[in-house]
Chain A
Amino acid sequence: MPEKMTAKKEKSKLFHVEKRFDMPLWQSILIRFGFIIVALFIGLLILTISYGVNPFDAIGSMFVGSFGTEKRIWDFLRDGVLLLGVGLALIPSFKMKFWNLGGNGQIIIGALVSVILMINLGGKYPDAVVLLIMIPSAILAGAVWAAIPAIFKALFNTNESLFTLMMNYVSVGLVNAFIMAKYPIGSHVIPRIDDAHFPSLYNGSLLIIIIIAVLLGGMVYYLKFSKHGYELSVVGESMNTARYVGINVKKVIIRTIIVSGALCGFIGCLLASGVDFTVTPETGNNMGFTAIMAVWLAKFNPIIAAGTSFFIVFITRGMTKVQSDNNIMNDATPNLIIGLIYFFIIGCEFFVEYKLLINKGGKEMKITEFIKSLFTSKVEKVKLPPEAEAAVEEEEVK
């Protein structure tokens, strides 16, 4: 008897979570899109209730924010590829399970080095010469900035998340120190620098887009078809396996993070010499963190990361437009809605990975079946599963 009691107790759990193994691709895409639509719906509901915004106008504003004018389209594409660029830089380190939270710092240090060279060499030498010095310097600076925590991780097994995070503050401090030293009076802002700009094709964005597209191709090749890429995925999946086949784990860690930091430094150079023409402590606009989300959503697949990067830029720009169109003075509401959308996107991964079974009267059913059963038959005879019936019969025989 007591056995039966416990069995009954276990069965009366309301929810039961089961891992999915074989979800077709179209279904997982459908789930994700469904969740995004639900998130947008709730977000717009909040806007409508609190500010009386017409939800359809808001949707319109979101699209206008990214695609309204030719300039907006170019800006949208530029912001998207820059975020993708940072994402591409982070993918190798994250694939290796090296949690590089220092993308911001690596970008800022690349930008700072570029700006220093632009100020000091710009005008004295031809722009091309300055650029030829500036780009490798920025790449080197980013690489060194990332290599410091990597070396400590490889040799002393320090925690890379904290270390890279702290390096961000150091780089911001360096930018402030530079500004204070160079412009001690006034508003402490480096004015727009007019020399040694990154070359532009047609407009300021096209060349950057082309460069990042090439980088995307390179990264796909590096991860999928190169020996380095293979080694770093083995190290990321299991250090024991890596040692078992004789991979020099320390070397792979340092090498991969240098690649990661070098790319971040290059993005910093692009930002300083091609977009902002200056450097501030906010250079990069926290892309080092936003890009983490973009690549995580893409499961570290560079091509999917392109999609997620553009999506994130789309909602960010869209929300800014909604805010300005409706004279919403605080940043909290748009941020709340963006956060809500992120939350739903991340949350839906649960439903892609697992299926939820609901227990109704001793019978486990999928959510869709459960909802159907609510509408079709209100009084349903509780049916015991065959094993339980057999057990009851046996009990009676005894």
Chain B
Amino acid sequence: MEISDRVAILRKGQYIATVKTSETNENKLTEMMVGKKTTLNIDRTEPVNVQDRLLVEHLNLRNIDGTKVVNDVSFIARSGEILGIAGIAGSGQRELLEAIAGLKPGYKGDVIFNRPKKNLPVSFFHKTFREVVTMAKNGAFHYEDGTPVSFAGMSIKKIKELVNTEKVLFNEDEVYNLKNLNPRKIRELGVRLSFVPEDRLGMGLVGNMDLVDNMMLRSYRKGKGSKLNRKKPEALADEIVKELDVVTPSIHTPVRKLSGGNVQKVLVGREIASSPKVLMAAYPVRGLDINSSYLIYNLLNKEKEEGSAVIFVGEDLDVLLALCDRILVMCQGQVTGIVDARTTTKEEVGLLMTSTEKEEEVKENA
């Protein structure tokens, strides 16, 4: 818009029109690009019920060749807000997320996941009965009125009834250190951490498998025995195709045959299907058309509203400023600042992106 005199619009390999830049605006251009009227705006809501969800402390990571790619990074991701990560491509954003997700074993530092359980019923968390009894002995639970739970002298039937009717509540949140755990172990802890990697078909999905088998990637271990259960993944695939308007001949089409936007919808759809507590997305709109991009932004926003801590690595500063609540800026593997996205400017973020020295005055919003 700023540099052109005339704009030619192409859509799906066809020439649509040429217009003078002075006579048009963004909405008109978008309409021609997409072929139908669309509203392209990001509704940023105020964060509600903000809790510290993920604490990253002094994370250091070296590459395979020994160069430092993440240098002493510390930050907190909070539930109910979107934390943006800005930086010139290759400043360690991708490696940082992969380390948190458990794909880069051998890093130094801590990744603390805070699992909110306080005042929530025990039955939500699928503990085995034996564990529940031991935990009660250690004073982990209380009743709705605040009195501590001790199952002493109660019949097993009575205890089960209490648990199942959601009368037994947790005293404290549960805290896990995810340091150097692999993705499987993270899942087994019950930590719902989802990750939309940069490389969709090379890491997030299997190109030659159909939608159903790709849905299974995260959940295939569930269920007893050695047999796969394709019923739930099938239902999930159907749901994602319907909800996110994935254009595909069927749910049994290999995902590599889908277009980039539809591939990303499948991946993001799967990752948010487990209603994650932490959702990390690395360049989720890279290479996508404008329609799909906004769909992805809205999905991230929806996750934020549902209480997930969203970490979004992006390239487009305008989008980062419009979508995120806070923006963490990285430069050469270091955090150069964490700014409030509502009050900051592009110039400030741009400056932080290129400042190699760690700045003293980090504007941290409370």
When chains A and B are docked, how far (Å) is the Cα of A228 from the Cα of B226?
Answer: 7
- Flag the segment in A40-48, A70-78, A201-209, A240-248 that touches B: A240-248
Binary flags per residue of B219-233, CB closer than 8 Å to A gives 1, else 0: 011000011100000
On chain A, the residues within 8 Å of B208 by CB distance are 237
Distance of B186 from chain A, by nearest CB (Å): 8
- Assess A240 versus B184: contact at CB under 8 Å? Given A225-B227, A226-B226, A230-B228: no
Partner of B209, one of A233, A244, A245: A233
CB-defined contacts of B102 to chain A, threshold 8 Å: 246
Q: A21-B257, A241-B204 are in contact. Are A246 and B187 (CB under 8 A)?
A: yes
B204 surroundings in chain A (CB, below 8 A) = 241, 244
Q: Which of B208-262 contact A (CB under 8 A)?
A: 208-209, 213, 216-218, 220-221, 226-228, 257
A residues 196-252 touching B (CB-CB < 8 Å): 225-231, 233-234, 237-238, 240-241, 243-248
Q: Give chain B interface residues in 48-81, CB to chain A under 8 Å.
A: none
B226-A245 in contact (CB<8A): no
C-alpha gap A226/B216 in the complex (Å) = 12
B21 close to chain A: CB less than 8 A: no
Residues from chain A with a CB closer than 8 A to the CB of B217 are 234, 241, 245
Measured CA separation A237–B210 after assembly (Å): 13
Mark B192-215 against chain A: 1 for CB-CB distance below 8 A, else 0: 000101010111111111000100
* Pairwise interchain contact B103-A237, C-beta atoms closer than 8 A: no
Residues of A in contact with B, size category? 20 to 34
Which chain B residue has the least Cβ–Cβ distance from A224? B228
- Residues in B whose Cβ lies below 8 Å from that of A227: 220-221, 226-228
Chain A hits for B221, CB < 8 A: 227
Contacts of B184 in A (CB 8 A): 245-248
B160 within 8 A of A: no
Chain A residues lying within 8 Å of B182, measured Cβ to Cβ, are 243, 246
Instruction: Establish whether residues B203 and A244, one from each chain, have CB atoms under 8 Å apart when the complex forms.
Output: yes
Closest CB-CB distance, A235 to chain B, in whole Å?
A: 10
The closest CB in chain B to the CB of A244 belongs to B203
Decide if B6 is an interface residue (CB 8 Å cutoff). Answer: no
Is the Cβ of B202 less than 8 Å from the Cβ of A238?
A: yes
Is B37's beta carbon under 8 Å from chain A?
no
The residue on A at minimum CB distance from B219 is A245
* Chain B min CB distance to A386 (Å): 12
In the complex, what residue of chain A is closest to B98 when comparing beta carbons?
Answer: A244
Q: Which residues of A contact B199 (CB under 8 A)?
A: 240
Specify which chain B residues have a CB less than 8 angstroms from the CB of A240 in the assembled complex.
199, 202-203
Interface centre among B187, B201, B203, B205 (most CB of A within 10 A): B203
A229 to B213: give the CA distance in the assembly, Å: 12
Chain A residue contacts of B20, Cβ below 8 A: none
The tally of residues in B whose CB lies under 8 Å from a CB in A reads 31
Q: Is the CB of B203 within 8 A of A230?
A: no
Instruction: Flag A234-272 by CB within 8 Å of B: 1 or 0 each.
Output: 100110110111111000000000000000000000000
Minimum Cβ distance to chain A for residue B255 (Å) = 11
A246 and B207 form a contact (CB under 8 A): no
Q: How far is the CA of A238 from the CA of B182 in the complex (A)?
A: 17
A241 pairs with B183, CB closer than 8 A: no
Known: A227-B227, A230-B216. A238 touches B206 (CB 8 A): yes
B358 close to chain A: CB less than 8 A: no
Cα–Cα distance between A244 and B196 once the two chains are bound (Å)? 10
Residues of B near A241 (CB, < 8 A) are: 202-206, 217
In the bound complex, residues from chain A placing their C-beta under 8 Å from that of B207 are 237-238
Min distance, Cβ B341 to any Cβ of chain A, angstroms:
29
Q: Are A244 and B197 in contact (CB under 8 A)?
A: yes
CB proximity of A1 to chain B, nearest CB, Å = 22
Q: Contacts A230-B213, A244-B103, A245-B183 known; A238 to B203 CB distance under 8 Å? A: yes
Q: Which of A228, A230, A245 interacts with B218 by CB under 8 Å?
A: A245
Query: Closest CB-CB distance, A383 to chain B, in whole Å?
Result: 21
State whether the Cβ of B185 lies closer than 8 Å to any Cβ in chain A. Answer: yes
* B183 with A246: CB separation less than 8 A: yes
User: Which of chain B's residues have a CB closer than 8 A to the CB of A228?
Assistant: 226
Nearest CB in chain B: distance from A365 CB, A: 21
A247 to B218, alpha carbons, bound, how many Å? 10
- Chain B residues positioned under 8 Å from A234 (CB to CB): 206, 209, 217
B220 pairs with A237, CB closer than 8 A: no
> Chain A residues near B213 (CB, 8 Å)?
230
Chain B residues positioned under 8 Å from A243 (CB to CB): 103, 182-183
Which residues of chain B from 158 to 185 have any CB-CB distance to chain A below 8 Å in the complex? 182-185
Q: What is the CB-to-nearest-CB distance from A61 to chain B, in angstroms, rounded to a whole number?
A: 42
A230/B220 contact (C-beta < 8 A), A225-B228, A244-B183 known: yes
How far does the Cβ of B237 sit from chain A's closest Cβ, in whole Å? 15
* Set of chain A residues within 8 Å of B206, measured between Cβ atoms: 233-234, 237-238, 241
Q: Mind listing 29 A-B residue pairs with CB under 8 Å? A: A225-B227, A225-B228, A226-B227, A227-B220, A227-B226, A227-B227, A227-B228, A230-B213, A230-B220, A230-B228, A231-B220, A233-B209, A237-B206, A237-B207, A237-B209, A238-B201, A238-B206, A240-B203, A241-B202, A241-B203, A241-B204, A241-B217, A243-B183, A244-B183, A244-B195, A245-B218, A246-B102, A246-B182, A247-B184
Q: 12 more A-B contacts (CB under 8 A) besides A240-B199, A247-B184?
A: A225-B227, A233-B209, A234-B217, A238-B202, A241-B204, A241-B206, A243-B182, A244-B195, A244-B203, A245-B183, A246-B184, A246-B186
Where the two chains meet, the residues of A that have a C-beta atom closer than 8 Å to any C-beta of B are: 21, 225-231, 233-234, 237-238, 240-241, 243-248
A-B pairs with lowest CB-CB distance, top 6: A246-B184, A246-B183, A240-B203, A237-B206, A245-B217, A226-B226
